[in-house]
Structure formats: structure tokens, C-alpha cells
């Protein structure tokens, strides 16, 4: 594309909604530029509870429409990304003083049927915790429980895979690039983008500007676009803690609390337990959100009402916090009751501008489709929901049978330790073949940085997934930051710096060779 030729869409923000919209648009043959000030999924989208779910608790706020579409999307995403999304059984111990059993049972029956649950996920049931495997970790006073199905997800990888698919379909993806300013230009937009790595600036043109900046959506409109009537978002901080594995089974827990909130305890990364989330109004820079001591103590107290063995703040090995933007015109309601649904604000004057307000991880694909439906007349594209049956990279697994795929991979690569093969399969799906191709032993995967992280995987992450820093690898493309020592992480950072220096030098050599060939011609 020439410098003067405009993009069809300039999408600002490579969280889940921005990446999803870029993918959907690129798949329609549109010219797309996805721009992100940091790395893919650096903020809200990588700070979730790692669930693809309908939102059982939203039923108490009568959000039947949101729950219905989220449950339908749960099935679609599980089929399209069976490597990074997996079924999860969730146990809810019954505390009669909080909600009567008949009410919970009725809610679960509704939850089972609202989204048209298919065979991939089991139905809800009532269990006797005195005999159920999940009851062993709970206090003896808890005799009755309810079990239902949802899914777990590698949230940041979900974003990465959407951005990858967008790029493979022709989109340009510029990470660590901030949009300084966007102004109307003719019938479209002129934007100034700054590379955060070398401070260079570029001017681009687009027919439509998409504001998918998450918790920055209002400030972006007010500061970069200078739109004075920017919608108001409610910013809510949610924090999570990770502790060493607290129970041996593979079910998760949903714990009700007397303050009206719920807290999940979820098996995490084989050897850990993830606990969260908090919900508190947030003011300040979203990128600076951190779990406070008060939040950590709150989460420990919340689960200690249920667990047989208490969890202490000193046992926490990692915390993370994100800021969720909520868009609910009912300003007087409590944060816990504010809708988790999304709104798409399309303004045609002075130029087409679409702002994504609110939303949740589970409904990103539907949000992207609805965004393209709104823009169809402007961009001259059809409204086909093409992503509904399109696997994400690595998700092209026959019949979404991940267990069968893993068995085949184990036979094909018997020299891979089972735990390493499972991690690679869960992270990359069918693309694990690109990482281990040609190798016949661990010694052929290159330098080992610890915890099963080899040079072959790093080269793939650099070439295919835009990994630049150690944090990109350890906390977004994987969660190996939970396992590597400081010395190992430092060696990883050193290797990455050297690898990128080599790539930069090779690119410079190619450019110089091109100039020489042009001069000779």
C-alpha cells in the first residue's frame, strides 16, 4: 500500500476487542492497521479471572440477554480454540444464610439452557461434598454443593492469536506505537503515530477510526481526538492472587461472600491456585493498577471461610491487577450491579468513529462482528459472520478433540517430556509442530533457559508473535514467570536483546543490499 493510500480501519488498542475487530475486518479483505501503545494484551485483557463464561451471577441482575449471548459464545470459542480454552467444572458450596438452595438450583437450570448448551460441557448437578472430591479441601461444615460447567482460558494468548490471525489475513500490526493525535481529514482520519522504542513518528490515513482503548476510551477521545462529548466510563479495579497449589483435583470453586461478592479459586498452571477477583472503583492511570495489601488480605479472608487449610498473605507468589471499563448509564447503582455488557458508539460526523465501551472477554467475537455490521455501509463490506466457524491459529484440531490431538503429538514426539508437551500443545495447538520441527531430542531445541523454555520456542515467539522483552514471553505468551528464577529471567532478557540486535542488523544488511542493487541497475 502506498504512503498516500488510506487504510479502511485504524484500530487503536490491541486488547481483546481491538484484536478481535482487526481480525474480523481483515478477514473481509479490508485494509487494517492495528496500533497498540504497549505489547498485545498488556493491560485489562491479560488481567482477567481466566474464564470464558456466561456470568452466572449476572442472572441476579436480570441480565438474561448478556448471559444468553455469552453462553452461546462460550461454545463457539471452545470449538475455535480448543488448545487455549478448556472445559472447567466449578463447585459452589452452599451457604444457606446467603442464598436458599432452591434459588441456586433454579438459577443453574436456567444457566444450563439459556445458551443452548451442547455436548462439550456437562450439566449442573447437586452434590454431597462429604463424598465429592472437591469436598476434601473444604471445611467439614459444608455438606451440600452445586456443580456447573464453564471454561478456562489463557486470556493473553487469546488476544495474541486474534492479532496473529489478523496479520495473516493482511492486517498491519504496530505494537509499542502510540496514537498521539487523530483528526478528521476529508471523509476520513489523519493520525500521528509514535513508535515508543525509537520515538519516530509516522502519519497514516484511514477511512474509519476505531477506539478500542479499553479503560482509556474516554481519555483517548478527549485528548487525542479532542472530542468534547466523550462518554463516561466507570473504571473498576480487579485484583487476583496466585498461591501454591491448594487442592489436588481439577475443579474450580465459586465462593459466595456475605458482602454480595463472589470469589473464584481455580487450578492454575499445574502447580498453582488462582484466586480472585476484587471489585473497587478506580481513579488514576490504568497502567499503574496494582494489587493492594488490603485486596490481598480480603481475598485470603474470603476463601478462608471455606477452605480447611487457610491461606495466608505470606504464601502469595504473584499478584496482578487490571482496570475494567464499565459502561452503564445507571450511575447510581453499585459497581457489582453495573452491567458487564458492551456498547458500540458510532459517530459519523465529522468522520466515522467507532468507540468500544465496556465488554467482557467471552463476548469479544460477537462484539467484533457487531462492530463490522455497524460499519458495513461505510466500508462497503458484507455482514457475514465468518468468524463463527473459523479456528484461531493452532486451533485447527479435528472435532475440537484436544485430548486426541495431544495423544497423537505424544506419539509423534516421544522424546518430549509429557509436562512440556502438554504446555506446548496447550499454548500453540497444531503450531507446536513449527516449534519442534526437525528436532529429535531436547538437545536440538537450542539453549534451555529453565522450566522447559528452549531457544526454539523463543525464536517462534519472536518471528510469529512479536515477542520482544522477557515480560512478553514470561507473562503474556506464557506464565513461565511463575517458574523461572531471577538469574534465568536475566539470561532470557540478555538472549532476547541479542536476538533482536541480530534481526535488526540482518534487516539493515538487506536494505543496504537493495540500495546497492538499485544503484547498479
Q: Checking DSSP bridges between strand 32-35 and strand 7-12, what pairing results, if any?
A: parallel
Q: Are residues 110 and 175 in the same domain?
A: no
pLDDT tens digits, 352-367: 999 999 999 999 999 9
What is residue 61's predicted lDDT score, i.e. its pLDDT? Answer: 82
Which residue reads 458500540 in cell numbers?
344
Q: Are residues 149 and 171 in the same domain?
A: no
pLDDT tens digits, 186-229: 999 999 999 999 999 999 999 999 999 999 999 999 999 988 77
What is residue 2's predicted lDDT score, i.e. its pLDDT? Answer: 47
pLDDT tens digits, 13-37: 999 999 999 999 999 999 999 999 9
Whether the per-residue pLDDT at 41 is higher than 70: the answer is: yes
Helix, strand or coil, per DSSP, at residue 283: coil
DSSP state of 477: I
CATH of the domain at 471: 1.10.8.870
What is residue 509's predicted lDDT score, i.e. its pLDDT? Answer: 66
Q: Are residues 419 and 293 in the same domain?
A: no
What is residue 117's predicted lDDT score, i.e. its pLDDT? Answer: 59
Q: Are residues 34 and 59 in the same domain?
A: no
Q: Are residues 502 and 402 in the same domain?
A: yes
Mean pLDDT within 268-294: 96
Mean pLDDT within 472-496: 98
Domain that holds residue 494: 398-508
pTM over 0.85: yes
What is d(CA 46, CA 39) in angstroms, rounded to the nearest whole number? 11
What is d(CA 375, CA 380) in angstroms, rounded to the nearest whole number? 8
What DSSP letter does each residue of 85-118 carry, written as one string? EEEEEEEEE--TTTS-HHHHHHHHHHHHHHTT--
Q: Checking DSSP bridges between strand 7-12 and strand 201-211, what pairing results, if any?
A: parallel
CATH of the domain at 138: 3.30.9.10
Residues 6+ apart with CB under 8 A from 193: 35, 174, 177, 178, 179, 180, 201, 202, 203, 204
Q: Checking DSSP bridges between strand 144-153 and strand 51-52, what pairing results, if any?
A: antiparallel
pLDDT tens digits, 47-101: 999 999 999 988 888 889 999 999 999 999 999 999 999 999 999 999 988 888 8
Q: Are residues 321 and 459 in the same domain?
A: no
What is d(CA 512, CA 274) in angstroms, rounded to the nearest whole number? 51
Cell of 463: 518471528
What is residue 148's predicted lDDT score, i.e. its pLDDT? Answer: 96
Whether the per-residue pLDDT at 519 is higher than 60: the answer is: no
Residue 55 region by backbone torsions, left for phi larger than 0, else alpha for psi between -120 and 50, else beta: left
Q: Are residues 97 and 38 in the same domain?
A: no
Strands (E), 314-423: 318-326, 342-347, 353-358
What is residue 333's predicted lDDT score, i.e. its pLDDT? Answer: 59
Q: Are residues 138 and 241 in the same domain?
A: yes
Mean pLDDT of the chain: 93
The number of folded domains in the chain is 3
HSE-up of 117 (CA within 13 Å, CB side)?
Answer: 21
What is residue 60's predicted lDDT score, i.e. its pLDDT? Answer: 84
Mean pLDDT within 374-395: 96
Residues 6+ apart with CB under 8 A from 486: none
φ, ψ (nearest 5 deg) of residue 252: -105, 170
pLDDT tens digits, 307-339: 999 999 999 999 999 999 998 666 655 666 677
Which residue reads 450511575 in cell numbers?
331
475 located within any domain = yes
Amino acid at each position: 500500500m502506498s504512503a498516500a493510500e488510506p487504510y479502511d480501519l485504524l484500530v487503536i488498542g490491541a486488547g481483546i476487542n481491538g484484536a478481535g475487530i482487526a481480525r474480523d475486518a481483515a478477514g473481509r479483505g479490508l485494509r487494517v492497521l492495528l496500533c497498540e501503545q504497549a505489547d498485545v494484551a498488556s493491560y485489562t485483557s491479560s488481567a482477567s479471572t481466566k474464564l470464558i463464561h456466561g456470568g452466572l451471577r449476572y442472572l441476579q441482575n436480570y441480565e438474561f440477554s448478556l448471559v444468553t449471548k455469552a453462553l452461546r459464545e462460550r461454545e463457539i470459542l471452545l470449538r475455535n480454540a480448543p488448545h487455549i480454552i478448556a472445559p472447567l467444572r466449578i463447585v459452589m458450596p452452599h451457604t444457606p444464610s446467603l442464598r436458599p438452595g432452591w434459588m441456586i438450583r433454579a438459577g443453574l437450570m436456567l444457566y444450563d439452557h439459556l445458551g443452548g448448551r451442547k455436548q462439550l460441557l456437562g450439566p449442573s448437578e447437586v452434590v454431597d461434598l462429604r463424598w465429592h472430591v472437591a469436598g476434601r479441601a473444604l471445611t467439614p461444615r459444608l455438606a451440600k454443593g452445586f456443580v456447573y460447567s464453564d471454561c478456562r482460558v489463557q486470556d493473553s494468548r487469546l488476544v495474541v492469536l486474534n492479532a496473529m490471525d489478523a496479520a495473516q489475513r493482511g492486517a498491519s500490526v504496530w505494537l509499542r506505537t502510540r496514537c498521539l493525535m487523530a483528526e478528521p481529514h476529508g471523509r476520513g482520519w489523519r493520525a500521528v503515530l509514535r513508535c515508543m522504542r525509537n520515538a519516530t513518528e509516522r502519519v497514516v490515513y484511514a477511512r474509519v477510526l476505531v477506539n478500542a482503548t479499553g479503560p482509556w476510551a474516554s481519555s483517548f477521545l478527549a485528548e487525542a481526538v479532542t472530542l468534547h462529548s466523550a462518554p463516561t466510563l466507570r473504571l473498576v479495579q480487579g485484583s487476583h492472587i496466585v498461591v501454591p497449589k491448594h487442592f489436588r483435583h481439577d475443579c474450580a470453586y465459586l465462593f459466595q461472600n456475605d458482602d454480595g461478592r463472589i470469589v473464584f479459586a481455580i487450578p492454575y498452571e499445574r502447580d498453582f491456585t488462582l484466586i480472585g477477583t476484587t471489585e473497587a472503583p478506580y481513579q488514576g492511570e490504568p497502567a499503574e493498577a496494582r494489587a493492594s495489601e488490603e485486596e490481598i488480605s480480603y481475598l485470603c479472608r474470603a476463601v478462608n471461610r471455606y477452605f480447611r487449610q487457610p491461606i495466608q498473605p505470606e504464601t502469595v507468589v504473584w499478584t496482578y491487577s487490571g482496570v475494567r471499563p464499565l459502561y452503564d448509564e445507571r450511575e447510581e447503582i453499585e459497581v457489582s450491579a453495573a452491567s458487564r455488557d458492551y456498547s458500540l458508539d458510532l459517530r459519523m460526523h465529522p468522520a466515522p468513529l467507532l468507540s468500544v465501551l465496556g465488554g467482557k472477554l467471552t463476548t469479544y467475537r460477537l462484539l467484533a462482528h457487531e462492530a463490522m455490521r455497524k460499519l458495513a455501509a461505510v466500508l462497503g463490506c458484507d455482514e457475514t459472520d465468518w468468524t463463527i466457524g473459523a479456528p484461531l491459529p493452532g486451533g485447527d484440531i479435528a472435532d475440537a478433540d484436544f485430548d486426541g490431538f495431544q495423544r497423537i503429538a505424544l506419539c509423534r514426539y516421544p522424546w518430549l517430556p509429557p509436562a512440556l508437551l502438554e504446555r506446548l500443545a496447550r499454548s500453540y495447538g497444531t503450531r507446536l509442530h513449527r516449534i519442534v520441527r526437525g528436532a529429535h531430542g531436547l538437545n536440538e531445541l537450542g539453549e534451555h533457559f529453565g522450566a522447559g523454555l528452549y531457544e526454539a520456542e523463543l525464536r517462534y515467539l519472536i518471528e510469529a508473535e512479536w515477542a520482544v522483552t522477557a515480560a512478553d514471553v514470561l507473562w503474556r505468551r506464557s506464565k513461565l514467570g511463575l517458574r523461572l528464577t531471577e538469574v534465568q529471567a536475566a539470561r532470557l532478557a540478555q538472549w532476547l536483546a541479542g536476538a533482536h540486535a541480530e534481526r535488526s542488523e540482518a534487516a539493515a544488511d538487506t536494505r543496504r543490499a537493495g540500495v546497492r542493487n538499485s544503484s547498479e541497475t
